[in-house]
C-alpha cells in the first residue's frame, strides 16, 4: 500500500465512532429514538454526547464498561437507560431475571427535563386531569412537560369507555405525583416528575409484596385491554418488569422499539 493511501485510510478510521463491547451492547437505533422521543428538549447526538436544544451537553456513557443490573439501577448512565427495549403487546409471561425495561433511569436527564421535585421545580409545571370523569370525581396531577397531562386526557377518554368490569382495575387511582425515592434503589421514580400514574392498588401486584425467598414469583391480574391503551400513548407498564409493579404506568417514549 502506498503511504498516501495508508494515511488516507488511517484518517478515515480516526473519524469512526469508538467501538467496543459495551458500545456494541446498546441496541441499534436507540440514541436516534431517544432524540426523536423528546423533540422539545433534545437536538442531536454528537459522538458520546447528548445535545439539548438549549445547548447543554450530557455524556451518554456508551463507551463505559458493562456493569451489573443492581449497580446500574442506582446510577444509570443515559446509555444504561437505553440498554433494554420495551415491547408492546400482550406480556409473554414472567419477565426474565432483571428484564425491566424502563427501570433504569438517568437522574440528571429526567431532572433537566421535568425539574427537581426536591427543589419544588416539578409542581409548578403540573395541572389537574379528571380521572375517568364519566365514572368518578377523582382528579390527578400530571406534568405539562412533553404534553404528559394532555396525553393522559386522551388515555382517560378511552379508559372511561371500557366496561365496568375493567374500570374496577382503574378506580380509584392510587396517585400520580410523589416526590420520593424508590425504596430499593434510592433513585427518584417517574412519580417525582409528575409523569407516572398508579391505578387501583386493590387489584394490583408488586414484586416487594411477593415471597422474597429466591427468585421473584411473577403475578399479574391487570387485563391487557387496559395496558394496550397506555402503550398506544407511549406509556410503559410496570407489569413487564422482573421487579413487577402492575399498577404502574409512566411516560417513556424512548423505551419503545
Ligand atoms: Zn407507580
Centre of ligand 1 to C-alpha 237, Å, is 9
| Domain parsing of the chain, residue ranges | 18-255
Give the environment of ion ligand 1: residues with CB less than 5 A: 198, 248
Which three cell numbers mark 32?
A: 436516534
* Alpha-carbon gap, residue 60 to 47, rounded angstroms: 9
Alpha-carbon torsion, ordered 101, 98, 202, 230, to 10 deg: 10
In a structure prediction context, what are the per-residue pLDDT tens digits for the chain, which is 257 residues long? 444 444 444 444 444 444 444 444 678 899 999 999 999 999 999 999 999 999 999 999 988 888 999 999 999 999 999 999 999 999 988 999 999 999 999 999 999 999 999 999 999 999 999 999 999 999 999 999 999 999 999 999 999 999 999 999 999 999 999 998 877 778 889 999 999 999 999 999 998 876 666 778 899 999 999 999 999 999 999 999 999 999 999 999 999 98
CB 61 within 8 A of CB 79: yes
Using N-to-C axis directions, what is the helix angle for 148-159 and 224-232, rounded to 10°?
A: 150
What's the pLDDT score for residue 33?
96
What pLDDT score does 21 carry? 44
Predicted pLDDT of residue 25: 62
Cell 484518517 found at: 11
pLDDT in the model for residue 211: 62
Which set of grid coordinates corresponds to residue 179?
416526590
Distance 16 CA to ligand 1 centre (A): 41
Alpha helices in the chain (DSSP H): 3-14, 21-24, 30-37, 69-74, 78-81, 107-114, 148-159, 164-167, 224-232
Kindly give the distance from the C-alpha atom of residue 241 to the centroid of ligand 1, in angstroms, as a whole number: 12
- 57 vs 31, 52, 60, CA distance in Å? 14, 6, 9
Cβ atoms of residues 42 and 35 within 8 Å? yes
**Ligand 1 midpoint to CA 215 (Å):** 22
Of residues 176, 170, 174, 204, the one with CA closest to residue 190: 176
Half-sphere exposure of 175 (CA within 13 A, CB side): 9
The pTM for the full model equals 0.88
Could you tell me the distance, in angstroms and rounded to a whole number, from the CA of residue 3 to the centre of ligand 1? 61
Separation between Cα atoms, residue 187 and residue 192, nearest integer Å: 10
Q: What distance in Å separates the CA atoms of residue 131 and residue 129, rounded to the nearest whole number?
A: 6
Collapse the DSSP code of 58 into the 3-class scheme (helix H, G, I; strand E, B; otherwise coil) and give the result.
Answer: strand
CA of 41 to the centre of ligand 1 (A): 24
What distance in angstroms lies between residue 229's CA and the mean position of ligand 1's atoms? 17
Å from CA of 196 to ligand 1 middle: 6
For residue 45, give the H/E element and its range. strand 42-46
Q: Which residue has the cell 410496570?
A: 238
- Sign, Cα dihedral of 200, 204, 206, 211: positive
| Strand ranges of the sheet holding 49-52, from the earlier edge strand across to the other edge | 42-46, 49-52, 57-59
Amino acid at each position: 500500500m502506498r503511504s498516501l493511501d495508508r494515511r488516507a485510510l488511517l484518517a478515515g478510521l480516526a473519524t469512526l465512532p469508538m467501538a467496543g463491547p459495551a458500545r456494541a451492547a446498546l441496541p441499534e437505533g436507540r440514541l436516534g429514538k431517544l432524540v426523536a422521543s423528546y423533540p422539545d428538549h433534545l437536538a442531536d447526538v454528537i459522538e458520546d454526547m447528548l445535545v439539548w436544544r438549549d445547548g447543554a451537553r450530557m455524556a451518554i456513557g456508551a463507551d463505559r464498561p458493562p456493569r451489573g443490573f443492581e449497580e446500574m439501577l442506582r446510577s444509570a448512565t443515559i446509555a444504561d437507560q437505553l440498554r433494554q427495549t420495551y415491547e408492546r403487546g400482550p406480556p409473554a409471561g414472567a419477565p426474565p431475571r432483571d428484564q425491566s425495561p424502563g427501570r433504569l433511569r438517568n437522574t440528571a436527564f429526567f431532572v433537566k427535563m421535568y425539574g427537581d421535585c426536591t427543589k419544588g421545580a416539578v409542581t409548578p409545571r403540573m395541572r389537574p386531569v379528571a380521572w375517568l370523569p364519566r365514572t368518578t370525581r377523582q382528579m390527578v396531577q400530571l406534568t405539562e412537560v412533553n404534553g404528559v397531562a394532555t396525553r393522559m386526557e386522551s388515555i382517560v377518554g378511552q379508559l372511561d369507555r371500557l366496561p365496568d368490569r375493567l374500570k374496577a382495575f382503574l378506580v380509584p387511582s392510587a396517585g400520580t405525583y410523589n416526590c420520593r425515592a424508590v425504596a430499593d434503589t434510592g433513585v427518584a421514580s417517574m412519580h417525582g416528575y409528575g409523569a407516572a400514574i398508579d391505578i387501583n392498588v386493590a387489584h394490583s401486584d408488586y414484586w416487594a409484596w411477593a415471597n422474597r425467598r429466591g427468585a421473584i414469583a411473577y403475578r399479574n391480574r391487570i387485563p391487557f385491554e387496559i395496558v394496550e391503551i397506555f402503550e398506544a400513548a407511549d406509556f410503559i407498564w410496570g407489569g413487564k418488569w422482573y421487579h413487577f409493579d402492575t399498577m404502574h404506568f409512566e411516560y417513556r417514549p424512548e423505551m419503545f422499539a
